[in-house]
Chains A and B, each alone.
Chain A
Amino acid sequence: MEKRDYSQSTADLIDKLCVLVERKSFHLDKAKATEAILKTYDLFDLPRPKQVVWHKDIFEDTFERSARSARSAGSAWSAGSAGSAWSARSAGSAGSAGFTALDDDFYWFVFEYEYCQNPDRGLAPNENDQKYLEYSQLLLEAMEVGAGYRVEDNDVLHIVPTPLVLIDDQNRFHSEVAPAIRWKGGREFYYLQGESFDKGLWKKIIDQKITASEVMQIDNSDKRTIAISMLRPDEMLKQLNAEMIDTGVKGTGLYKIPNFMDTGETEYAIRMETRYKLDGGEFGAPKEFIEFVRPEVGVKGDAELCQAVAFDITKEQWLATEQES
């Protein structure tokens, strides 16, 4: 049971930031972005760097060296961003990179913004809070015109455009049509349900061409699960050599899967369909789903019992359910 405990204007700010993160494209305006970032120096009475260098992505050696150097130097101003960029690169994790553009600053922007709306009693926001909001606003302006990362090193300001990212409805990097993270003219990364895949494997999965033995060769169990779950139900059951052992009175199908993914174990899955309402309010075509069930339940060979157990109710209760959507 949840209730939002922050202001509407903070919710609007979060929405605005989300739209920026999820935008499909942007026109990179280097001049505007550079000026916005340089104004943050003015705000704190710091000297502007003598030189500004733009990079195509965070994987360019010169940017990486600067990020590492700025991090080592412990530069108070740039360490946060540089640290993020360096960590993302050194960990080889594009996933981190996707959201550590200028976003690190924005987490604090949101907290500070909300605090200024609803401060603690006796702790009213002061001029420093106001300054931080101005600083965040400048970074937001830079991000709006395409800046992603910035690092200052030896009087040189290094800036990298923000990557374009695609996420699913659970906020995970995900795309079945394009790289989930990409820099224009730079590196690209392919993700499904938050897990990275090399391009070849990603393509096989989305084209429904991956075989069960290829799935088994994927080392990471999360990735294995995703690879198999991305298959259409009919294709998944075919790949798994599943055998239908029961059809329930409510239409649930129960399948037995001997030697599941070459593990030597027998697993069970139920197949069901749901009709959703679409954007315009009309019903779409029925959509099929596969869910695995505990083997000790599946072995009983009763499809509707599997549904009941999944809800932790009795089979009688499950069968008595009339209002369903």
Chain B
Amino acid sequence: MTDKPIRQGSLMLVPVDEVPEGRITRQKSAIVEHSESGHSHVLDCPQDFETITVDEDNVFVRLMTGGVLTHQKQAERHEELEIAPGTYRIKHKNEYKPFEKIMKQVID
């Protein structure tokens, strides 16, 4: 259990105490940040963990046991991180595009 956020590149797992109601799926492995290039951030746990999807912008994971966060990239990949049991909100980094004046998700 940690009370500090965990960051892997453009992905952040922010510990939370409560989770709103949402659709729950259980799995041992899931992509927590998708990349069209296949360089996704993947969370793996030895036991099933829950993904709670409230809506597109509100997705949480609940780990009963520790897991590992991996960046699926051959070269120039972010280091693996061990994730303590707990509940986390998934946050993605966004950057500003000055020509278009829009925010766009950072993809690493």
Contacts and interface: CB of A to CB of B under 8 A. Distances in A.
Contact of A279 (B7, B32, B74): B74
A323 B98 contact: no
B14 A292 contact: no
Interface in A282-324: 283-284, 287, 291-295, 310-313, 317-318, 320-324
B17 interface: no
B1 interface: no
A325 B79 contact: yes
A313 B34 contact: no
B65 interface: no
B13 to A, nearest CB: 9
Contacts of A318: 5
B43 to A, nearest CB: 10
Contact of B4 (A260, A261, A274, A323): A323
A32 interface: no
B35 to A, nearest CB: 8
Contacts of B14: 313, 317
Contacts, number: 109
Contact of A169 (B2, B9, B39): B39
A261 B99 CA distance: 10
Contact of B12 (A260, A267, A292, A313): A313
B75 A1 contact: no
Nearest to A295: B96
The contact size tier of chain B is 35 or more
Nearest to A294: B96
A292 B104 CA distance: 11
Contacts of B39: 169
Interface in B28-59: 30-32, 34-40, 51, 53, 59
A277 interface: yes
A277 B77 contact: yes
A171 interface: yes
Contacts of B98: 260-261, 265, 267, 292
A320 B7 CA distance: 11
Given A276-B76, A277-B78, A279-B74, A323 B95 contact: no
Nearest to B40: A2
Given A312-B94, A313-B91, 11 more contacts: A1-B27, A1-B31, A1-B32, A225-B99, A279-B75, A311-B94, A322-B4, A324-B8, A325-B7, A325-B8, A325-B79
